[in-house]
DNA sequence: GTCGGTGCAAATCCTTTGCACCCTC
DNA sequence: GAGGGTGCAAAGGATTTGCACCGAC
């Protein structure tokens, strides 16, 4: 744990260890700062909310986590190192599906190149309705 | 002007007319609420900031404008009706380029379909460095 | 011992809301 | 004249910052 932090060029502190441990332990995509804060405190690991904000900012800079922001929702973080992926989001129930399409990635590259741009990263989110919600919507309105 | 509002099912008021006129007049992509507020007041058209927020929310619901949110920046609006497009954003100078790639759109559709999802809309933003900024970066570090 | 990290509280920023008044239909 | 629209000021929520203290190196 400490080694990970050190290797990332981060100072080792109790809070950072706990936080990182927590991220690995819950291994969930898309945790909000509030989630992390609540989660840690629920486990009796007391930590300040602003500290979570600061640590996550550091972690992001160090490349340990990735920060995402969907439409007008709060920022979420996830451990980096998982393969790159994009998101499908259900507008009704909020379900979140991850997918990856190499062909899309390639086209992005080409599009950027066409305008003389290099690609650092991208964000691609598709909003729609999932199978279950579509069915529910239909049965409600379709009578 | 009034006709447009009426057709969109919106009540016609002086503020809404002025605001819509302004949007058409500056015809710029990606205006923040603050931009609009400042712009209108600079033209002597007094309007409340919260009114701009409320009107833009109505305009969005009515489909007159599209709301976008880039990374952790403030929300921006643009008149809808322009062809669908995605964005290339320079991380250095903030330059914004629009592009469209039908093949990408198609792949998005397919990806959604694979998971049983319908597509309502999507947001695709590519972050990188534009030609000019790349050159500047290289000349700075490359010595 | 120094310097960065942490906690608390207060501040900030964007956005929304409550309420009295005004205007459109 | 009724009901939604507007302005002001105040509330709200997420995130950041100031400052004194603490801990890591």
Helix axis angle for B14-26 and B49-61, nearest 10°, is 80
- pLDDT, one tens digit per residue, over A31-45 is 999 999 999 988 888
**Where is pLDDT greater, at A1 or B51?**
B51
Which of B84, B98, B123, B135 to mutate: most A Cβ within 10 Å?
A: B123
Query: Which residue lies nearest D6, CA-to-C1' measured?
Result: B51
CB within 8 Å of chain A, chain B residues 32-71: 69, 71
pLDDT, position B140? 65
Output residues with Cβ under 7 Å from nucleic strand D.
A 6, 11-14, 32-34, 49-50, 53-54, 57, 74-75; B 10-11, 13-16, 46-48, 50-51, 54-55, 58, 72
pLDDT band at A4 (very low <50, low <70, confident <90, very high): confident
Q: Is B121 left (phi over 0), alpha (psi -120 to 50) or beta?
A: beta
Residues 20-39 (B) with a CB less than 8 A from some CB of A: none
Q: How confident is the model at residue B141 (pLDDT cuts 50, 70, 90)?
A: low
B138 has pLDDT over 90 = no
Q: Which is more confident, B116 or B2? A: B116
Query: How many Cβ atoms from other residues are within 10 Å of residue B22's Cβ?
Result: 19
What average pLDDT does the segment A56-82 reach? 89
Are residues B108 and A104 in contact, defined by beta-carbon separation less than 8 angstroms? Answer: yes
Residue from A33, A53, A116, A125 to probe the interface with B (highest B Cβ count within 10 Å): A116
**What confidence tens digit (pLDDT) does each residue in B8-32 have?**
888 899 999 999 999 998 887 789 9
How far A68 CA lies from chain B's nearest CA (Å)?
7
Instruction: Report pLDDT digits (tens) over B47-98.
Output: 999 999 999 999 999 989 999 988 888 899 999 877 788 999 988 888 888 9
In degrees, rounded to 5, the angle at the alpha carbon of residue A102 between the alpha carbons of residues B69 and A85 is 45
Query: For A54-73, b where at least 16 C-beta lie within 10 A, e where not — what string?
Result: ebbebbeeeebbbbbbbeee
Q: What is the pLDDT of residue A115?
A: 94
Does residue A143 register a pLDDT over 60? no
Q: For residue A140, what pLDDT band results from cuts at 50, 70 and 90?
A: low
Distance CA B76, CA B87 (A): 13
**SS3 labels along chain B:** CHHHHHHCCCCCCHHHHHHHHHHHHHCCCCEEHHHHHHHHHHCCCCCCHHHHHHHHHHHHHCCCEEEEECCCCCEEEEEECECCCEEEEECCCCCEEEECCHHHHHHHHHHHHHCCCEEEEEEEEEEEECHHHHHHHHHHHCC
What does the pLDDT read at residue B88?
A: 92
Residues B95-124: tens digit of each pLDDT? 888 999 999 999 999 999 999 999 988 999
- Mean pLDDT throughout A132-141? 77
Residue B43 has pLDDT above 80, yes or no: yes
Q: pLDDT by residue (tens digit) across A13-26?
A: 999 999 999 999 88
pLDDT in tens, A86-135: 999 988 888 889 999 999 999 999 999 999 999 998 999 999 999 888 88
Cβ neighbours of B68 in A, within 8 Å? none
**A69–chain B nearest CA distance, Å:** 6
**How close is the nearest chain B Cα to the Cα of A63, in Å?**
16
């Amino acid at each position: 744990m400490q080694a990970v932090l050190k290797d990332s060029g981060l100072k080792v502190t109790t809070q950072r260890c706990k936080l990182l441990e927590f991220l690995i332990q819950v291994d969930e995509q898309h945790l909000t700062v509030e989630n992390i804060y609540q989660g840690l405190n629920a486990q009796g690991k007391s930590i300040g909310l602003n500290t979570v904000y600061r640590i996550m900012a550091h972690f992001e800079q160090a490349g340990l986590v990735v920060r995402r922001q969907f439409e007008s929702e709060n920022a979420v973080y996830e451990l980096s190192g998982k393969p790159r992926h994009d998101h499908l989001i259900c507008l009704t129930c909020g379900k979140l599906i991850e997918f990856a399409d190499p062909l899309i990635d390639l086209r992005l590259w080409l599009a950027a190149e066409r305008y003389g741009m290099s690609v650092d990263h991208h964000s691609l989110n598709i909003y729609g309705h999932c199978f279950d919600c579509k069915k529910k919507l239909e049965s409600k309105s379709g009578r």
